[in-house]
Structure 1
């Protein structure tokens, strides 16, 4: 089980993003002047979704069904953030459905523009355990009917601790998630800890040494070891940007993430 199946119309990939939308996300985002964490995360997510759609367009017939994706927002409540043609019927939205379901077009003063699927939100507490429970339901249903597809990927982006459970509760839920698998291998779990203040990002470490607190270390330990193709990619990117190369056993974990760190994690997780 080496996570080597290639994505095509007969073997679509599955991505589930969990977005912290609690009140603390209203604080400024490190590395994104003038933006709150909520706004920066929404912008990064919308750009990622646009890129996923673009990857699926190979001809004039429109996007092919290469991906199924779900976005789960969590604060005081758990919200499915993507709509398909039938509203909230199917929790996983296909790439063709995604292409048709944006809510508006955002335009920058410099002329740049992109579709918007997700609006920023920052309110309430951090029901991360409940979000992981819903992610399990979505992923379990998907793997049951896609055993010949690549293993699903879950990416959790947060700036704080869960308010609906302990670290042990989180670990238990992640263990259930990574217990799901296709013939390609087990589900791949990413955790991205958004920076509360300016600090050196920790990108894809292979141990918890130097992490600031037990909670952050707990997120590291619930993150999957990167499959070979992802490890090769992050090493190439590290060389290109003059960053330290992740070692053997590097995990899908980013700590003290500024906007660039969030984008790197999203890019790696959706390879």
Structure 2
């Protein structure tokens, strides 16, 4: 028999503290490292040489988490300038060709800017290293459905859920919740997903256009909010939506596919960036 929802009753202040403590990044460290590790398996030799010139023996898995690790850096660049670069906003009912970029920029404009830095022969190695790490990270970000947000709930951060008795939000469930339930290291998870990625998948997913990835994420975003009925609760601090085995079962395969696609698209984007210029 289900425990009544009131068994989890908390003050609104306590719930808000728990939710705000949850990370707001797209994919947690494991997810990002999985995408970087998968990308390393798909880049071509020319791209690999270019990457090694820029960051030496640092792996793409290691590079993938750097922009999130720096978000606690007190420098103005990290606290103000770069903060909006991890997501885009596309309201419900709009398609990606209607995407509007704010003055401070977003993930799409940042990705374009960092690609230009990587192609600039005058850019310093330090600037290229920062750009490369951001590119690997942002391609992953744009494959997480809630990082193409609808502009109403901070990409699911305000949609309150009780995830296997843990008070959090829908954004965190996709960032980390479903991933950490696998109880795998990033290398184990990358190996598993690599074995499941067929040559036909790579051919089908090989697409260096951010518009493709963002539209896919927006389409998924419209579906992943759990509706009332099967999942009790309303998604508010007073009545968090209760998500357990059914939601995990329903959506883990899609989450894993987005990790696989991100790994392929990081490789596709870097191959495009580093393609010899005529």
Q: TM-score range by the shorter chain?
A: under 0.3
TM-score (norm 1): 0.26
Higher RCO (C-alpha 8 Å, min separation 6): 2
TM-score (norm 2): 0.26
